[in-house]
Structure 1
Amino acid sequence: MLEFVFPWLFLLLPLPLLLRFLPEYLQQNQMVKVPFFNKLIEISGDKAKLGAKTQQPSRLQKSVLIISWLLFVLAAAKPQWLQDPIVQTKSARDLMVAVDASGSMATTDFKVASDNTVDRLTMVKSVLKSLAMERKNDRLGLIVFGSAAYLQMPFSEDHATWLTLLNETEIAMAGQSTVIGDAIGIAIKHFEESETKNRVLILLTDGNDAGSKVPPIDAAKIAASYGVKIYTIALGDPATIGERKLDSKTLKRIAELTGGNFYHAMDTSQLSQAYLNIAQLEPQTYDSISFRPKQSMHHIPLITLVIMNLCMVVYIRSRIKVKVPYDQ
């Protein structure tokens, strides 16, 4: 499909015709008529010669001029060809994952094949890898928290880099204790910059909050006001005591305030099931973006104009016969 960026320029097409009727164009210079011109020539003993004559353009030249003007206006109107529509789909959800990397995540109480056990962080990495592979169209972000919370990766569709940063996460790299409220706060900050309305935070921890600048419940209320849904996953034995005690009550309250769910995973199967439930509750959503590529065609009439006029110049030069008077 052909369209023009400046179609109003076609109003200039009759401009040369209008210029022809301007007063300056109609003005003619009067010549002096001498009735006895021939007698004067005879007296002078000279011979009469033909006067200067203005050569009028041929029909071919006039046609070339008209076509040149048409091509010039056509190029100025900037024609462009609209190609077939291209529809792209992208995820309509931003998914942030906050992983507890405190010292307690070194506890080896998750069973894998052959009754072997691995530490909690290793198991979390394994399950999150499956999550990233299944949600190829979601924009993923990663937060690691311990004594402080850090953004490892902002929202991105680059899942390979996301997995690399997740695999590089080490136990106690962010400190020994747990700041759940601060992790939620960092997530809120980056959700503020998100354009999508489908905002999900998955928070995994095996402890209780230890001195966050913003209490977890207050952070959850703020998250709810920004439309962030938080799914909390508690890891490990709830009977643990001391600083490593699992605060299931707070995690449940966080999920309730934001419209998410709370899950408790004491082994590998329960952790995998928690992610399956989240996947069912938060199916992948898509936004369709349709656009039509445009290819500018203005160079075609310009090239045609130049070639046509060059050919006309060559043709005229080949037809001109120059007569040079020679006096003996």
Structure 2
Amino acid sequence: MIEFATPLAFLLAPLPLVIRYVLPAHQETVSALRLPFFRRLAHAADVAPRAGAVVFRRTMLQNGAAILIWGLLVSALAGPERVGEPIVQEKAARDVMLAIDISGSMDQRDFRSAQGEPTQRLDAVKRVVGDFVSARDGDRIALIVFGTKAFVQAPFTEDLGSVRALLEQTEVGMAGPHTALGDAIGLAIKTFQSSTIEDRLLIVLSDGADTGSRMTPINAAAIAAGESIEIIAIGVGDPDGSGEQRLDERSLNDIASTAGGAYYFAGDETALSDIYTRIDAQKPRAVETTRYRPRESLAHIPSGLAAGIAFLTLAVLYASTLRRKTV
């Protein structure tokens, strides 16, 4: 489809006629030779003397070329454009951070799989969280793993396949045997600060109690709340355990409530899957949609035609002049 960017330029089309009929004609004083027998000379030449005889008259070729050239130049000024089909672009409107505990206690095989068989806690988590990541098409997702230290395994990206692949490569103990939950939340806050997206969600999954963070989890959650980061906490360990093996549900609950989120406990893989399904329903993917039509300027076409017509007209007039001189 062809459109004009500045159609008001067509109002310039009658400008030459306005100039011709409104403005006075250009006049110049030129030298002339006075002949006492001018009338007899004119009669002998069979011409009728008239005023303005020295004004050159344009030929039909010149008039036609001038009209075409002016019309093409006005069309070029109007900005003709070829408009393409609408293109829809979507970009993420929410950042989702996944913080996964990979401390030594995640090696326990007391978690029941969907088939009811004992399985390693981390293996079950990777299956469920991997499915959750794949279903979040449209969100930007980042992955943090933590043990004694917290590390950014994947920065914010819309390449969900890469996030899932990096999640699959994590192993128990890669970040140390202990649980630095507060440091993981602090690292998440720092990572969120590089984002310009306002809707921010942190999903923390842990199976133990914080045992070595430089910042307490509650203080970290309070800072997260100040940064408009919502925290959902998920516990997958044993609430009745002892020492570092005990799931600190109270801390996880306090973290979630401080940061405006919720706490969930999963005793097996099926319950964990249900939790992530619930989160997916409560926090559906959010995207910003942009529509635009690609535009290609065609102003060079009428401009080029105008230049071509002008060149051909001058060439024809020059050839005619040469013929007359030869004759």
TM-score scaled by length of structure 2: 0.81
Give the fraction of aligned pairs with identical amino acids, expressed as a percent. 37
**Runs of 4+ deviating beyond 6 Å:** 19-24
Partner Cα separation in structure 2 for residue 215 and residue 164 of structure 1? 31
Gaps of 5+ in 2: 39-53
SS at match of 1:304: helix
1:153-232 alignment runs, 5 A limit? 153-232=154-233
1:1-328 alignment runs, 5 A limit? 2-4=3-5, 14=15, 25-35=26-36, 56-112=57-113, 115-313=116-314, 315-316=316-317, 319=320, 321-324=323-326
Deviation per residue, 1:31-65 (Å, 9 max, x gap): 2324379xxxxxxxxxxxxxxx9964312212212
**1:126 positional shift:** 0.3
The one-letter amino acid paired with 1:160 is: G
**1:250 positional shift:** 0.8
Deviation per residue, 1:106-142 (Å, 9 max, x gap): 1222222665432211111100111122222222111
- What is the root-mean-square deviation of aligned Cα atoms in Å? 3.3
The one-letter amino acid paired with 1:129 is: G
SS at match of 1:323: helix
Deviation per residue, 1:230-274 (Å, 9 max, x gap): 111111211222233322111000111122111112211221121
Partner Cα separation in structure 2 for residue 65 and residue 304 of structure 1? 12
Greater Cα shift, 68-77 or 150-159: 68-77
Residues 263, 75 of structure 1: alpha-carbon distance in 2 compared, 3 angstrom cutoff: same
Residues 26, 244 of structure 1: alpha-carbon distance in 2 compared, 3 angstrom cutoff: farther
Residues 81, 30 of structure 1: alpha-carbon distance in 2 compared, 3 angstrom cutoff: same
**1:205 positional shift:** 1.0
TM-score scaled by length of structure 1: 0.81
Q: 1:3–1:82: 8 Å Cα contact kept in structure 2? A: no
2:41 equivalent in structure 1 = none
SS at match of 2:225: helix
Q: 2:4–2:78: 8 Å Cα contact kept in structure 1? A: no
The one-letter amino acid paired with 1:303 is: G
Deviation per residue, 1:167-208 (Å, 9 max, x gap): 121222222222212221222223334343322111111122
The one-letter amino acid paired with 2:135 is: E
Q: 1:97–1:202: 8 Å Cα contact kept in structure 2? A: yes
Deviation per residue, 1:56-97 (Å, 9 max, x gap): 431221221232233234324433244454444444322111
Partner Cα separation in structure 2 for residue 294 and residue 104 of structure 1? 59
Residues 316, 310 of structure 1: alpha-carbon distance in 2 compared, 3 angstrom cutoff: same
Q: 1:96–1:142: 8 Å Cα contact kept in structure 2? A: yes
